[in-house]
Structure 1
Amino acid sequence: MTTNVSELVDGWLRLWNGELDRAAGLLTPDFRVHAALMGGGDGSALSGPEGLAGWIAQTRAAFTSLTFAVEVGPIAQDDLLAVRWTATGTYGGGFPGATAEPGTPIAFTGTDTLRIAGDRLAEYWVNSDIHVLFAQLEVS
């Protein structure tokens, strides 16, 4: 693999930490998401840099000071890259079904698996401890 894994991970982390303008240079035009979505979808509706940037913006809108950090990794093999991350922040309101008060601190973890094509990220699988986040937000 000739791609600089450190640069990809740094760009990925900055993207999730709100630097949404990084999406176009970091992701392939046909970037694909594989994720269980709140509305029941599988992530196939989220494609390309714009689709992911929009999803990230929507996620970040319900939280103030949401910060993602790499906990384990990166682990790279062939054209795949994996990182375990932690997310911390403060609930700002507006999360569907949440009854927690705005200002509630949140923390949860997850693992991202990414496929690299050339010098960009082409595909994304996520497994997160969303049930932990739901418990903190008192989602009913």
Structure 2
Amino acid sequence: MENTANTANTAPASDRAAATALVTNWVALWNGDLAIADAIISPDNRVHAAMFDGGDGSAVGGVSGMKGLVTQMRSLMSDLVFSVDVGPIVDGDHVVVRWVATGHYGGGIPGAGAPVGTEVTFHGSDILRVADGQVVEYWLNADTLDLMTQLQVGAS
């Protein structure tokens, strides 16, 4: 009898270990360790994300683009701490991780009614396409509505 079970989440141990190491470094990058970007981000990295400015992330490329994206996010909440909720889930050259971020609003978002120092918690999922141990493509799906609600953006 042929095994028809879904095996997408049963990566070989070596793939799982590499994915776990990459995710550990990925989280460290988002927690402010910009130096790690040179090791884990491909110069050809492409970003797919709904950006605060309305863009789609295509303007964010390579190592410097990722450093800029992390710096931009951390400028709004310098004490932001990311941690892994679920994952890594490995499927071929893709690694998926669900994360939670907590921090205190530092100001700078137009229309935000929340006072500086407001504690926020929000979630998201990252899909990373990996080649030669580096992220070559990044899809960001964050609960921006939850974050903006906590910051009282547009609230009257």
| 2:4 equivalent in structure 1 | none
Aligned letter for 2:129? R
SS of the counterpart of 2:147?
helix
Task: From the CA coordinates, give the structure whose radius of gyration is larger.
Answer: 2
Aligned letter for 1:136? Q
- Distance across 2 between alignment mates of 1:96 and 1:81: 34
Deviations 1:63-107 (A, max 9, x none): 131000000000001000000000000011112221210110000
Aligned pair partner of 1:109 in 115, 123, 148: 123
In structure 1, list runs of 5 or more residues that go unmatched: none
- Point out the structure with the larger strand share: 1
TM-score (norm 2): 0.86
Aligned-CA RMSD value: 1.2
| 2:88 equivalent in structure 1 | 74
Aligned pair partner of 2:69 in 45, 55, 60: 55
- Distance across 1 between alignment mates of 2:86 and 2:32: 21
Aligned pair partner of 1:125 in 139, 149, 155: 139
Q: Give the 4+ runs in structure 1 shifted more than 3 A.
A: none
In structure 2, list runs of 5 or more residues that go unmatched: 1-11
| 2:37 equivalent in structure 1 | 23
- Give the count of matched residue pairs: 140
- Distance across 2 between alignment mates of 1:33 and 1:136: 26
TM-score (norm 1): 0.96
Match status 1:37 vs 2:37 = no
- Distance across 2 between alignment mates of 1:101 and 1:15: 27
Alignment identity in percent? 47
- Distance across 2 between alignment mates of 1:64 and 1:46: 21
